[in-house]
A and B are shown apart, each in its own frame.
Chain A
Amino acid sequence: MLATYQNPIYEYERSVDQNTDQIPHHPVIIVGGGPVGLAAGLDAGVHGINALILDESDTVSVGSRAVCYAKRSLEILNRWGCAQRMIDKGVTWKVGKIFFRDKLIRQFDLLPAPGHEQPAFINLQQYYLEQYMVERLRELESVEVRWKNKVIDVVEDERKVTLTIDTPDGPYSLSCDWLVVADGANSGIRARMGLESDGKVFQDRFLIVDVVMKQDAPPERWFSFDPSYHRGWSTLLHRQADDVYRLDFQLGWNADPVEEKKPENILPRVKAMLGEGVDFELEWASVYTFTCRRMEKFRHGRLLYTGDAAHQVSPFGARGANSGFQDVDNLIWKLDLVLQGKAKPSLLDSYCEERVAAAEENIMNSTRSTDFITPKSNVSRLFRDTVLELAEHHEFAQLLTNSGRLSDPSILTDSMLNTPDSSNFAGDMVPGSPLDDAPMEMGGEERWLLNTLDGRFHLLYFIEDLASLEPFHQSVLIEMQQQSVPVIPIIVCGEFGSIGSIDGITTLVDAKGLAKQRFDAEQGTVYLVRPDQHVLGRWRKFDLEKVSAAVDKVLGS
C-alpha cells in the first residue's frame, strides 16, 4: 500500500454485448488499458471514432513505473484535453545534471528555446497519468472502457477480427474491423498470433525505489556515474508529485533481485545516497532488467501493434511511453480516414513504416546509452571513464557523455507520405518533422500555434499583412475546408501586420516572430500539416494543385 496514493477501483460492469447470441461488432477495439491503450482511446474519442477499450485489470498502474513525460507527449495529450491536469499535478523540470565520482561534470537545459506552451518534461507517477486519462475518457461519448475483460482468443479473417473475452460472468465474443494491440511488453495477443519481438536482453539489473521526503532542492534529473556511495555503478534521482522521489540504483547482473527488494537491503542504499539525517519513507520498490527489441512489422492485416507490445527500450531516455503516445498519434487519424472510406487501408502501412523507423531510432539511442552506462569490456570502460574525466573541462566530451538521450519526437524524414521540398528552406521543419510550437495572438488574445490545430489537415499560410492576401486565394482557402477530407487553413500574419480577421478563416498573429523564424517563412509560404501535426509538404507559394496532390498521396487516390 502506498502512503501517497490509493489505486481507484473501476468496477466490472456487465455489458449488453454479453446478453446476445450474436457476436456484436465494433469498428475499433483496443486491447490494453495502460498509457498507450488509453491514449488510443482518447485519440479515437476526439476523432469521434467508436472504440472499445478492453482491460484485464480493474485499476490503473500499481506502482509509479513510467514517470517522465516529454514535451511532445504533452502536446499530444493537450490535443486530447488532459495535459494541463498532468502538468499541474506533476513536477516540471528541464535541467539535468551529470556527476562523475561526486563531481558535477555537465549540466544541460532541455528546453533552451523559449516560446513553447509545453515544458520540456514533467515527472508524474504513471498511476496519476492513467487515472487522468480514464477520467478524460469518460467525457468522450464514442469510447467505452470495459474493465476485467481479458482477451483469451483472437481469430482474424478477411473481413474482421473475432475476439473471445473472459469476464467475471464468463466468456463472450466480439468482432471488430481493426484491433489496436496495446497490451504491453509481454503482449498476449502478439504471442497468440505467433509473432515475436526480437532484440537484445541487457545483462544488468536496476533497483528502483520511490521514497517520500520533504526537500527544497529544485526539480532536476541527477545522474551519477561511479558515486562514492555506490562505487563502480550508477544512480539516478528524479522528483515526482507528492514529494515522492525516484531513486534508481544500478546493481549489475549478479545481484539477487529477491534479496535486493527487501527493505533491510534497500534502506542502507537509500541512506548512503541521500546522506545522514534525511528523513524519508519507503514508498515502492522494484528490481528490473530490460531489453531493446521490436516486432519486424507493426501492422499485421487488421491488427495494429502499438507501444511496448510493438517495441521496447531501456528506460534511459524515457523513450517507452513517450514513443507509445507518438504511435497512437500517428495511427488513429489514419484509421479514421480508412474507417470513413476516405483513404485506402494501405495508408495503415505508413503507420508501420513510420513507427518502425521511430522505434529503430529509439532502440539505437537507448542501446547506446546503455552501453555507455554499462561498459562491456576493459577498453570500453577506459574510454567511458576518460570521456567523463575530460567532460569536466571540455565541451566535446560533455556532449559525448551519455546518461540517456532524452525522448525527442521522431522526425519522419523518410516517410512515403511526405512531399519533398521543391524550394530551399533553412531550419529543421522539413517534411516529416513535428511542428514546432510558437506563441501567437488571435483576436488580441494570447494562444499557441499547436493548440490551434485540431486533428485535421491544416494549411499554415504565412503573410506579412492580411491586406496582402490575394482575394482568389481567400476563396480557395475557404473551399478547401468543404472538401470530403477538409484542409483547414490558418493564416499566420507577421508580427507587424494589421490585426483583423477574414470570415471563415482562422487568423493568427505571429506575436514574437518566432513562427516565421522557426519555419523559415516568407511572404506567401505555406506548410501543409498532417492531423498528427507533422509537416507533409511546404511551398514558397500557395498552389492548390500541389496541396491537393500532397493530400491525395496520403489518401492513396
Chain B
Amino acid sequence: MKLNTKTNFHPTDSHFFRAYRAGDDFYEALIEMHRGLSDELSAKVNARLILLLANHIGDLTVLHEAMGLARGEIEKVDS
C-alpha cells in the first residue's frame, strides 16, 4: 500500500506541541469551507476539492488505492 493512512497533517512553518493540533486545524478549516452553503453547493465544493487534491497528489497508484478504500468501505458499511 502506497497510500498513507497514518497521521500526516503538519503545519507548514511552525511547531505544534500537541499531536492532535494540526489535524484539528485542518478539520476546522474543512467545516468552515462549507459554512453557509446549501447541500448541493457543498457537494460541488467537495468535488472541486477532491479534484484539486487529486491533481496535487498526482501519483496514480496512490489515487487508485484511495478510491478503492473510499468505495470499498462504503460497501462494507452498507451491507
Contact B18 A405, beta carbon cutoff 8 Å: yes
Residue of A400, A405, A428 with most chain B CB atoms under a 10 A cut-off? A400
Given contacts A365-B24, A405-B18, A405-B24, contact A378 B7 (CB under 8 A): no
Q: How far is the CB of A15 from chain B (nearest CB, A)?
A: 46
A-chain residues with CB within 8 Å of residue B37 when the two chains form the complex: 379
A-B contacts counted at CB < 8 A amount to 58
B61 interfacial by beta-carbon distance below 8 Å: no
Binary interface encoding of chain B residues 48-73 relative to chain A, with 1 for a CB under 8 A from any of its CBs, else 0: 00000000000000000000000001
Contact B31 A371, beta carbon cutoff 8 Å: yes
Contact A405 B20, beta carbon cutoff 8 Å: yes
Whole-angstrom distance between the alpha carbons of A379 and B26 in the complex?
Answer: 16
Whole-angstrom distance between the alpha carbons of A402 and B28 in the complex?
Answer: 11
Binary interface encoding of chain B residues 4-43 relative to chain A, with 1 for a CB under 8 A from any of its CBs, else 0: 1111110000000111100110111011001001010010
Count of chain B residues with a beta carbon within 8 Å of a chain A beta carbon: 24
Contact A389 B77, beta carbon cutoff 8 Å: yes
Contact B30 A368, beta carbon cutoff 8 Å: no
Stretch in contact with the other chain, from A187-195, A390-398, A548-556: A390-398
Q: Which of A372, A379, A395, A433 contacts B6 (CB 8 A)?
A: A395
Contact B17 A428, beta carbon cutoff 8 Å: yes
A377 interfacial by beta-carbon distance below 8 Å: yes
A10 interfacial by beta-carbon distance below 8 Å: no
Contact B18 A408, beta carbon cutoff 8 Å: yes
Contact B20 A399, beta carbon cutoff 8 Å: yes
Whole-angstrom distance between the alpha carbons of A69 and B31 in the complex?
Answer: 31
Whole-angstrom distance between the alpha carbons of A428 and B39 in the complex?
Answer: 43
The B-contacting residues of A in range 360-415, CB under 8 angstroms, are 365, 368, 371-372, 377-380, 383, 387, 389-390, 393-397, 399-400, 402, 405, 408, 411
B-chain residues with CB within 8 Å of residue A368 when the two chains form the complex: 24, 27-28
Closest Cβ neighbor of A428 among chain B residues: B17
Whole-angstrom distance between the alpha carbons of A396 and B7 in the complex?
Answer: 4
Residues of B within 8 A of A (CB): 4-9, 17-20, 23-24, 26-28, 30-31, 34, 37, 39, 42, 46, 73, 77
What are some 20 contacts across the A-B interface (CB < 8 A)?
A378-B39, A379-B37, A379-B39, A380-B34, A383-B30, A387-B27, A390-B73, A393-B5, A393-B73, A395-B6, A395-B7, A396-B5, A396-B6, A396-B7, A399-B23, A400-B23, A400-B24, A405-B18, A411-B17, A433-B17
| Nearest 9 pairs of A and B residues by beta carbon | A379-B42, A394-B5, A379-B34, A399-B7, A396-B7, A380-B31, A400-B23, A395-B6, A399-B23
